[in-house]
Amino acid sequence: MMASVFDVAKGVLDASGPVSTMKLEKLVYYCQVLSLVERGQVMFPERVEAWVNGPVSPALFKAHARRYVVTPSDFESIGDSSKLSKADQEIVRTVVEKLGMLSGEDLRELSHAEAPWKDARGDAAPSERCNGEIEPSAISSYYPDPSNPLFA
């Protein structure tokens, strides 16, 4: 059974401890990226969109709306990291190890420099709301980007 975006978020929080919601969204996105690159499959089925501040899962956003920082206990009732396969757990560990030292703002800038986010936004202005989907196929065809620390 495939993990949900909430299970992946719980796994990220278990590995990283409390983080800003922006950072959580980006780390979860990069878990999806690494899963597509390494295994050719999505880690979670929920949609990821190209919002102003980078990739965001609307479902995950609704779960942490109106918070700035989230902790593992905030996801106790909606996410279960034990639902992650061994391969999923390794991807979460790798993403947190390689990108966890970056701030949410750093991760936003990293994603803004990459084609999947840019392409999903289409002609939207930098500060304009956009809900264009970052398609798994766009991720698979773009990464690994050698300038992204995840692949260094």
CB 24 within 8 A of CB 74: no
b or e along 39-49 (b: 16 or more beta carbons within 10 Å of the residue's beta carbon)? eeebbbeeebb
Question: Cα(139)–Cα(128) distance, rounded to whole angstroms?
Answer: 22
Report yes or no on whether pTM surpasses 0.85. yes
Specify the 3-state DSSP secondary structure of 133: strand
Per-block mean pLDDT, blocks of 10 residues, the chain (152 long) = 95 97 98 96 97 97 93 93 96 97 97 96 93 96 87 82
